[in-house]
Structure 1
């Protein structure tokens, strides 16, 4: 009986240690700081709205409305000419067209699918046909796709003064 009790205590101690190791690993993972590459003005990711929450704000805005904001979203496309704009996914089928304040910085052209934090001014505007065609050309669209652009389009826009690109 004493051997059984001793064996039982040993097993409990081993299991307890393993559980403690798992808890420690989980805490370390949760506290691990996210690494970012920074572009433009120095910003942080504090108080940034997730894309789905930002979509709600955009939906309540009309052409001409603007708000200072910070958001986290995935990149859908980047200007393939020089990285002078990007489109972000709002997770509701909509996109945000992001330009960079005073063309003060550009983004890498190969970041589609990566997560960014942007800081600046969110607004709703109407983009004329010639500007839409210019963006389509920058994105590498075919002449046929560009020719299909025939009407101004209401868009969700953002002028970013700073961007953080999540490093993996």
Structure 2
């Protein structure tokens, strides 16, 4: 009986650790001798290879529905899921944010990172989002019932499936 209980506790601990995968690492930028510290979530990300948000906005402007590009870019977090940190919206020039989800739902980011710098690496694409999904995301973001009810049509959005995220410390 003790072995069974121990096994259950061990399994729960291992599952809990998987969802909080975070590593501190130091990445040296190529533009200066300054070393920047990042918290890592998900896979390794090459901060030096990342493009800026302006360049990423230009790449999104050239995408057509069904196109996908593999890239990494640096920008600011505008909002994050307040329930678990299971999605975030990133700033790029233009009228809309980039909606980021995480590969295989395999990692989450902290829920309090609005305004912080990140480097994301993964796949960029355009996506149509249903009314139901938009309302769900608005609820997760803590929007009011009135704001949620105002969502009545599907929309095309800039989407990104991240393999990994670096959060500037």
TM-score tier by shorter-chain length is 0.7 to 0.9
Q: Matched residues in 1 for 2:33 and 2:48: separation?
A: 15
CA RMSD of aligned residues (A): 1.2
Contact 1:47/1:70, CA 8 A, preserved across alignment = yes
Q: Matched residues in 2 for 1:30 and 1:161: separation?
A: 26
1:158 counterpart residue number: 160
Q: Which moved more, 1:111-120 or 1:29-38?
A: 29-38
Q: Matched residues in 1 for 2:34 and 2:61: separation?
A: 34
Greater percentage in helix: 1
1:115 to 114, 117, 120: 117
1:94 counterpart residue number: 96
Aligned-pair CA distance for 1:94: 2.1
1:125 counterpart residue number: 127
2:35 counterpart residue number: 33
Equivalent residues in 2 for 1:1-168 (5 A)? 30-167=32-169
Tell me which structure has the larger Cα radius of gyration: 1
Q: Deviations over 1:68-114 (max 9, x none)?
A: 11011100000001000000000223210000001100000110000
The runs of 4+ residues in structure 1 deviating greater than 3 Å are none
Contact 1:63/1:154, CA 8 A, preserved across alignment = no
Q: 2:137 is paired with a residue of what secondary structure?
A: helix
Aligned-pair CA distance for 1:157: 0.3
Structure 2-normalised TM-score? 0.80
Q: Deviations over 1:37-96 (max 9, x none)?
A: 000011220221111110011011122211111011100000001000000000223210
Q: Matched residues in 2 for 1:150 and 1:93: separation?
A: 19
Structure 2: gaps (5+ residues):
1-30
Structure 1-normalised TM-score? 0.80
2:10 counterpart residue number: none
Q: Matched residues in 2 for 1:146 and 1:65: separation?
A: 30
